[in-house]
Amino acid sequence: MSRYPFESVLVANRGEIAARILRSVKESGLRGVIIAHPDDAHGPAMSLADEVSWIDGQTPVAAFLDIDQIINAAKVTEAGALHPGYGFLAENARFATAVEKAGIVFIGPRPSSIELMGDKIRARNFVAQLGIPVAPSVIEDDDPGTFVDRARELGVPLLIKPSAGGGGKGMHIVRNLRYLDAEIERARSEGQRYFGDGRLYAERYIECPRHIEVQVLGDESGNVVHLFERDCSLQRRFQKVIEEAPAPGLPANIRDRICNAAVDIARAAQYVNAGTVEFIYGAGQFYFLEMNTRLQVEHPVTEATTGIDLVAEQIRIAAGEPLSFEQNDVTISGHAIELRIYAEDSSHDFAPTTGPILRLQPPNDSRFDAGVIEGGRVTTAFDPMIGKLIVHGESRAAALIKAEDALRRLIVLGLRTNVGYLRRLLTDREVAAGRIHTGLIQEKFQLTAEPPLERETVARLIALAAPHVPDLCREAAAVPALHRAMGSWRN
């Protein structure tokens, strides 16, 4: 019998986050259920789930955005609670409301909090009223007819963002106002496609700041704590690539102010469950960026440095229990780094790659949250992330050494990945020294080029990979047709 008011949890997601949530679900003594699309039939969560509910749609992504179908899956599988993971419907207030109306516990914030803080425009207004600094901006909703003119008055560089956005999608930098109209239309189109919401806002783009975010947790009793900060400055096209905790070189007084500001925002919003408050920081000043009303991709580095299972806490909070710790109980131990392993070709502008996963062997002394399995495929149907490699060391220097070593020992065969690029990035002088900012990857474009391999090395790699290619093995072992026709004849 479960200690919680529900016996099972449906994970309304896929890939590495579905598998990661299922592990905590099972460790909490609960039954784990997942939804799955036929194009993703061999995902890593399949073997962990107690039950699988198949969904379908015009596209695979559309299936994971089908609210009615997902709620029906929860009802059919008798799931008493639902965890949205991240992406897809995780920050959709209408989805959270529909889940609750169906009598299912939503493992996440209240719909009202998602509506307030998940809407980037309303969130900025709310935070500004608290006296916490936000970057100069204009909001389309205030007066749609004058939005372009007001954005133009802010000057360049300018950042156009979807109101309902996240994950870097739909965000565009404008450095020349002659392109403003075109970039607004692009951002609007992408916002509608990715989030079903084409509303926009524009803000002055602060060049080369650091991206600092704070993990917060709140319970139904009004308790709110922070689990310190993460640095997510190493990103490209607003998509994070390497995250670490704690933020290297962040002055103690700035850390305190940023973490306290995050708690003030969450408390004022009456926030319940896990969330992340994001800031940009530079020249001794920080500005509120946005709040993500969900679990973050990079949450493992916080777990590694605090020893707190965030998903387990999410489940406890959703069940109505208070936080299992107080602010003074939260301490930082060592340093953690997360590296996102993508199927992409860094030497060709990070173009996504597809193909089979012939061999996947992560180092056995590091955490690897896999998004695919050996024998599966990376396709164009979903995000090209293969998994997340997380290392922990006594210091940042030790963590960097462990991260480079773990990347060296990570085996992914069958398609191009960014593993080599990540190794080059980690050993860059600026990164090693902690002098990082959001524009660093763009500045270090020379690191994207793959170093040439000697012919002997290529031959060895082919020899090592060949036994793992089924078609090649069958071809090598096959008896030629002429020889087969000879039957058992011997000379």
Predicted pLDDT of residue 33: 98
For the chain, how long is the longest CA-to-CA vector? 94
Strand order in the sheet with 31-36: 51-54, 31-36, 8-11, 81-83, 105-106
pLDDT digits (tens, 9 = 90+) for 14-47: 999 999 999 999 999 999 999 999 999 889 999 9
**Domain range 136-204, CATH class:** alpha beta
**Residues lower than pLDDT 70 in the chain:** 1, 165-167, 482-491
Q: Which option is the CATH number for 8-107: 3.40.630.30, 3.40.50.300, 3.40.630.10, 3.40.50.20?
A: 3.40.50.20
What is the topology classification, in CATH, of domain 210-448?
A: D-amino Acid Aminotransferase; Chain A, domain 1 (3.30.470)
Predicted pLDDT of residue 167: 63
Collect all residues with Cβ–Cβ distance below 8 Å to 159 and sequence separation of at least 6: 171, 172, 173, 174, 202, 203, 204, 205
Predicted pLDDT of residue 487: 67
Task: Provide the token pair at 112.
Answer: 């009202």
**What is d(CA 61, CA 83) in angstroms, rounded to the nearest whole number?**
17
Entry pTM = 0.86
The domain locations on the chain are 8-107, 136-204, 210-448
pLDDT digits (tens, 9 = 90+) for 60-85: 999 999 999 999 999 999 999 999 99
